[in-house]
Amino acid sequence: MSTRVLIADDSEFMRNLLREILEGEFEIVGEAENGVEAVDMYGEHEPDLVMMDIVMPIRNGIEATEEITSSDPNARVIMCTSVGQEEKMKAAVKAGAEGYITKPFQKPNVLEAINDVVPA
């Protein structure tokens, strides 16, 4: 059974890029454009994994991660971050994120990060 993934990023370009990288090996169950949508879609689809951008409108990735992990302690979230966001990464890990990838994404790094948090 393939791992079900929710992608949360306010950039359509980044969502498309992640979908391209993940398609074939994973099932994309939804795409959220902000933290509020991410939380709603998590509840709706109960994905195995969330690829969560840190910087998003309305509710950012850290707040959304906090909300998801407090309602589902087993939630697996990988943060998508830009170089230079180390402080935000610490906050994200505190919020319950299990891993992170740095933009620009490269397929091997993305898959490696996922394999680290999702048991094969």
Q: Which two tokens stand for residue 81?
A: 């971050």
Q: Is residue 119 part of a domain?
A: no
The residue among 97 and 84 whose pLDDT is bigger is 97
CATH (domain of 23) = 3.40.50.2300
pTM across the whole model: 0.93
Q: Based on the structure, what is the number of domains in the chain?
A: 1
What pLDDT is stored for residue 14 in this prediction?
94
DSSP codes joined into one string, 12-57: HHHHHHHHHHHBTTBEEEEEESSHHHHHHHHHHH--SEEEEESS-S
Say if residue 120's pLDDT is above 90.
Answer: no
**What residue numbers bound the domain in which 99 lies?**
4-107
For 21-49, the pLDDT digits (tens) are 999 899 999 999 999 999 999 999 999 99
The stretch 55-75 carries a mean pLDDT of 95
